[in-house]
Amino acid sequence: MGADVIVVGGGIGGLGVAALLARKGRKVVVVEPYKLVGGRCSSFEKDGFRIPTYVHAFPRAEHGYHTALARKIGEPIAWVRQQDCIMNLNGLDVEFSLSSLLTTIRGMHKAGVPWFELLGIGGRVAKDLLLQRKEFEQRLEEDDVRSWLLRYTDNETIHALVACFATAALVVPYWEGSMAEFFPIMKEMLRTKGGGYPVEGCGGIADAYENGLRKAGGEVRQAKVKRVMIEDNCVTGVELEDGETIEAPVVISNAGVKSTVLELVGEEHFSTEYLNRVRGLEYSMSSLAVQIALDKKITDLKFFTYIPSLDTLGYFKTLEKGEIPDELTLWLTSPTNLIPSLAPEGKQLVCCMTPVPYWPDTDWKPWVEAFLKTIERFLPGLREHTLWKRTVTPENIRLWSGKEGTCIGLGQRVGQSGKDRPSMRSPVEGLYFVGVDAGTGAVGVELAAKSALECSEEVESAVGAAKVASSAKALPQSR
Ligand SMILES: Cc1cc2nc3c(=O)[nH]c(=O)nc-3n(C[C@H](O)[C@H](O)[C@H](O)COP(=O)(O)OP(=O)(O)OC[C@H]3O[C@@H](n4cnc5c(N)ncnc54)[C@H](O)[C@@H]3O)c2cc1C
């Protein structure tokens, strides 16, 4: 059996690039071990609820790269907008809105940040951006989020808020998160005025890509790739776990840069320098997630954030020591408050998550109990109205999605972000990477979709010239 392109993995990145290339007339085969496609962004049905496999918020909704990709393959995704967020900051309820700057300024003011402080920071950032653009951009490339913010303010409340947004977007502590990644994310969120939720649930994105792929003659094979076959530094295809081989001059891996290089291809095909670089790449943090099916609607909250302490550094140090904080940071969404059809009539789905590091051999039960206690504080009546709940621990994420239970994939940390992000081109001719690990400047699902858009163009130009090997040789050296 042969194909023009084999895609290893049917996550958002893999399905996206597959659908785009199939629409261009390429014969594309996606190999994905699970029946449920979409990788870390998928949904399944249970008792009439449409449950996200994990927990998702979509910061730019219809303006995002995921939706641009869907439009390109003729499978539009419908969204319900959600621009406002209630946040409880250290005991105080404040409202933020991406559609109303005034609401946000009022919220910050209520949280204890004086107007003049906010105006002063805004003015200094604008001045640097306008008058010292080169230096400003240089600092974005080099700074972590905390160091960058300290250039403008040491206000504890502003730091707690920015740390929360940065951790939500990048899932790394804000002193590790790259400003080169966080700045474009925030800029785009403000420009497009907020997020939303797919009408068909999280899985609606992957479903749209799979439909596009199949309609264009592409195929999804339910199997696991055991190895990527290489001859004379050129890709020749893949071998599946049952020993079957599929030949193709192009293999695009959505299985992650580290897993692909170190496990699927094999170290002998790369230089020591490249291997050392790959071995040193670090993942984002993991998370604890709880999804709760309720027999009635008990909250109007659509998107809610709880920051239990303004001492962000202290909070993360507690986590890093493996100790359970008294209360955990909480990001809560109720998809059914936006789209009631995602649950049986009158019932409600609430999804919560909190970032935690991944440690093997951890007993997560006390963590889940502590997290439920935090959740209950904001959802009175939770226990008596719970039909069932589904808990996802970092160990579950590792088992289902691999990569040390990471939320995002390779962390958007200083040193592996922006121009330092691994290239989508590998040093092996015909081997490409797609998905979050090879994407830059967006959040999770969008990052994967953005990478698919870019990868399809890169591969198309090589395949389109019908000289994959020779055009790959002419490409600049991969990082
Ligand atoms: C708990 C949690 C919460 C999150 N919250 C958000 C959020 O709110 N907003 C957001 O934008 N993002 C969020 N994310 C992140 C986002 O879901 C991911 O970053 C994104 O979906 C990754 O897409 P991907 O295509 O790069 O990779 P993946 O989704 O990891 O897909 C990789 C695919 O490759 C397959 N694969 C692996 N090995 C092989 C092999 N050997 N052979 C064949 N196939 C293979 C896997 O089965 C998988 O389907 C969250 C993630 C988690 C875990």
- Structural domains of the chain ordered from first start: 5-79+201-281+411-474 (3.50.50.60), 103-192 (no CATH), 286-405 (3.30.70)
pLDDT tens, 195-218? 899 999 999 999 999 999 999 999
* Residue-level pLDDT at 116: 87
Q: What mean pLDDT do residues 406-430 have?
A: 94
Q: What mean pLDDT do residues 49-59 have?
A: 92
> Pocket around ligand 1: residues whose beta carbon is below 6 Å from it?
8-14, 31-34, 39-41, 54-57, 224-225, 254-255, 264, 287, 289, 353, 397, 401, 407-409, 435-436, 443-446, 448
The torsion defined by the Cα of 221, 224, 230 and 233, in degrees rounded to 10, comes to 100
* Residue-level pLDDT at 441: 94
* Residue-level pLDDT at 464: 67
Instruction: Give 475's pLDDT tier (boundaries 50, 70, 90).
Output: very low
Q: Which residue's alpha carbon is nearest to atom 6 within ligand 1?
A: 56
Give residue 126's Cα distance to chain centre: 29
- Is it the case that residue 146 has pLDDT exceeding 70? yes
Give percent of the chain with pLDDT exceeding 70: 97
- Of residues 99 and 475, the one with the higher pLDDT is 99
Looking at the CA of residue 40, tell me the nearest atom of ligand 1. 29
Q: d(Cα 242, Cα 228) in Å, to the nearest integer?
A: 14
- Of residues 291 and 100, the one with the higher pLDDT is 291
- What type of residue sits at position 167? T
Q: Which residue's alpha carbon is nearest to atom 50 within ligand 1?
A: 407
Give residue 136's Cα distance to chain centre: 26
Give percent of the chain with pLDDT exceeding 90: 83
pTM, full prediction: 0.94
pLDDT tens, 364-396? 999 999 999 999 999 989 999 999 999 999 999
Q: What mean pLDDT do residues 404-408 have?
A: 93
For residue 346 the two structure tokens come to 């009158």
**Pocket residue to mutate for ligand 1, from 29, 254, 395, 421, most atoms within 8 A of Cβ:** 254
- Is it the case that residue 30 has pLDDT exceeding 60? yes
Q: What are phi and psi of 259, to 5 degrees?
A: -65, -40
* Residue-level pLDDT at 465: 60
Determine contact, residues 407/287, Cβ cutoff 8 Å: yes
Q: Which residue's alpha carbon is nearest to atom 49 within ligand 1?
A: 39
From the number of C-beta atoms within 10 Å of its C-beta (0-12, 13-18, 19+), residue 184 rates as: middle
- Is it the case that residue 468 has pLDDT exceeding 50? no
For residue 435 the two structure tokens come to 């998905």
Q: What mean pLDDT do residues 228-246 have?
A: 97
pLDDT tens, 10-27? 999 999 999 999 999 999
Per-residue CA distances from 222 to 15, 22, 31, 84, 226 (Å): 13, 18, 6, 40, 13
* Residue-level pLDDT at 112: 85
Instruction: Give 474's pLDDT tier (boundaries 50, 70, 90).
Output: very low
